[in-house]
A and B are shown apart, each in its own frame.
Chain A
Amino acid sequence: MRATRQLIGLVLVLGLAARPATCGDLKDLYFGEALYHAYQGQYFDALQRLDTELAQYHVLDEPKLDTLHYHINDAEFSVGDFELDYRMHQRAGRAIKAVLEGAVDEAVRNEAAFRLARIHFQKGQLDDALQALARIKGPVPEEIKGDLEFLRANVYMATGQPGEAVKVLSQLRSNERLAGFVAYNLSIALLQDGRTQEAIEQLDKAGQLPADDPATLAIRDKSNLVLGTMLFESGNFERARQSLDRVHLEGPFSNQALLRAGWAEASAQQYDRALVPWNILVGREPTDAAVQEVILAVPHAYASLKLHGRAALLYGRALELFSNQIERVDASIRSIREGQFLNALIREESREDETWVIRLRNLPDAPETYYLMELMASHDFQTALHNYLDLEDLRSRFIAWKTSLDAFDDIIRLRGQNYEPLLPEVDAQFRALDSRIRLRLEQRKHLAERLQAILTAPRPGYLATAEEQIAGERIALIEKRLGNSNDPESLALRQRAVRLRGALTWRLETEYNDRLTAAYVHLNELKAPLDALTRQYDAFVGTRQAATHSYVGYDVQIARLRERVGDALQRVDMLIARQGHMIETVAINQLEARRERLAVQQTEARFGVADSYDRAARAPSDAGGQ
């Protein structure tokens, strides 16, 4: 069962991959910007943007007025997803817990619980995942129903409850999007539950699913490979062959399938039929373990068919190939020790898309990657590698930040040099203007108050022109000078003065309404220039403050940041060295294991050459093969 166990490995959890929470109409541009970065795999930028937005949102007095309010749950969920994608498992889940504990409706709370369970599951915290799932009660958003049940089944399988997983997965069979994942996992759950016959039947179904996308095709191939291997190990060679024959010839499992299909035939003593899949496989990439195994299996088949000359020839070729491959592995180990592997991995141009690991093997000057495809495709190695790349990315950022801080210092110094000689004079001019502006504003206010007052208690005298006021004062002076004298001349003059005052009063009284209206019009006409003056005043005050703010008060913050960045740079250098060493060690261990295997195969080939020549010599009619 060793091969079967190796093949089954983990159940398929790809169906659980987090997708950034998308929303209908976007209302918050910065949330959209975070998604823009996340969709490109730039999780650092996405997190930084969203962390800032959420921090600002949570300190608002009226968050409901903020545009992020429309997406707040999606934003909190997305932070968790981005943190997981950025391999920050310790932090992931904090934001989602905040949603769970907040005042949200049941459907949102249930989605939060699902997302939290998924994070716990991915972190390997299975009890916590079960607890989070147990919190789900009531309505569940339609779009996550399938994912939720698929997760539940995965958690059951991971916690050793395959029977429960079978029940859940059986209910999920109608889900078209998850059909392949469900079919395969159901068979593995049945197998884990000891229901081998049902598992075989289920694998058979999974192996014949209609597939029109690469993921389902790969699941179908894997189902057929696992089924074929199980049947082969139970001695059912014919059915094993049928199952293995269904594996797609160009797919990722085809080498293993061809190898096992051949062994199924060979085990039934059908060596000529075994040679059909093996001869397809033998021409493939010679660094692949299945290809290397078949390089020895083919001459073995010819020997079994008593074609010893042909077998001797092929064993000879195998011997040469294994010797070459051992040299290649040695070169790879040397190259890794010289740091070339890490250099190849961090090449920018090789990481442009998701298939970069596969394309690495085609790089002419990266021999160290040839034997590491299997290793590099493993989840643990991918995590370690991505962490290494993240550290390299952080290192580049720290260096850029140091440069930015230097530039900020320059900006501040230059602004200081520019403003400091100018500002005292500007301030003095402003103070003079300020007092004049305040005076005019006071005057207008005073006039407005007076006009308001005469509305309730009419005072025509307040609306007299300067000329009229002077005339009134002169009449008053004349009246004072005339006093109370009763001589005829004074009496006549007093009468004239009374007439003049009467004429003045008449004019003021009769023109009062028109004058009041005109005064209001004039006062209102003052509004526009005074508003413009106020705006200019405010703009000046703002600009004056901005001038100071543009270079004062940054020294401490910049010094502190520079220290933190410098410290982080030292830490990241140390971590890069340690992470790189770990990756190199894992790679070298892998290569050394392959070298040992190649050495064993080399010995087998050497023995095969000698034995076949010996047998060919004893049966001369077969010498030279065909």
Chain B
Amino acid sequence: MRGLDEQIQEIKSDSLRMSAELSQLEEKLLYPSGTQVAIFVAVAKGDTMRLDAVRLQIDGQLVAHYIYSAKELQALRKGGVQRIYVGNVATGDHKLDVLVDGKLEGGADFSRTGQFTFRKEVKPRLVGLTLAGPRSGNTPITLGDW
């Protein structure tokens, strides 16, 4: 029994190492740093809105349309950050359109849009979006720079 448990822990360790190596390989092959852009989504601290979906367009092209499960929303509310999109763009300025659909505490639907510009340099570009409900008093969509 103990031997089996140890073997399971060992294969978990090996798998984590392989997974890290595969992620690096994937990044090098598919998203090289010169063109890599990663977009993250977070929910403003203490916000109670129910986030239903987020849609992203880069330079007019739809790149992500994500619908959230209750579990994912809970993880966002607790302070987790979702990497919603990883892709490639050329160096220079790019337009980012964000559409957020959600529900208020009372069940009413709401929808917010935001338009931003971000600049891609030679290093990987991380773009953080912080979302807030209409009643929170915060800006609905904020673009952070990392």
Interface of A toward B, CB cutoff 8 Å: 22-23, 26, 29, 32-33, 35-40, 44, 47-48, 51-52, 55, 67, 86-91, 352-353, 387, 390-391, 394, 397-398, 401, 404-405, 408, 411-412, 539, 542-543, 546, 549-550, 554, 557-558, 561, 564-565, 568, 571-572, 575, 578-579, 582
Contact = CB atoms under 8 A, between A and B. Distances in A.
Given A39-B74, A387-B8, A575-B8, A549 B81 contact: no
Contacts of B79: 22-23, 26, 32, 35, 39
Interface string B103-135: 000000000000000000010001010000000
Interface in B1-52: 1, 4-9, 11-16, 18-26, 28-30, 32, 34, 38, 40, 42
Interface residues of B, number: 46
20 contacts: A23-B79, A29-B81, A29-B83, A29-B126, A32-B40, A37-B75, A39-B75, A40-B72, A40-B80, A44-B16, A87-B8, A88-B13, A397-B15, A401-B18, A542-B122, A561-B21, A565-B18, A568-B15, A571-B11, A582-B4
A561 B25 contact: yes
A557 B25 contact: yes
Contacts of A55: 20
B82 to A, nearest CB: 5
Contacts of B38: 29
Contact of B9 (A23, A87, A542): A87
Given A32-B79, A88-B9, A568-B15, A550 B40 contact: no
Contacts of A408: 25-26, 29
Contact of A36 (B14, B28, B80): B80
Contacts of A353: 71
A33 B42 CA distance: 9
B57 to A, nearest CB: 21
A36 to B, nearest CB: 3
A86 B72 CA distance: 19
B80 A33 contact: yes
Contacts of B126: 29
Contacts of A32: 40, 42, 79-81
Contact of A48 (B19, B34, B122): B19
A576 to B, nearest CB: 10
A51 B20 contact: yes
B80 A37 contact: yes
A401 B128 contact: no
B56 interface: no
B2 to A, nearest CB: 11
Contacts of B32: 546, 549-550
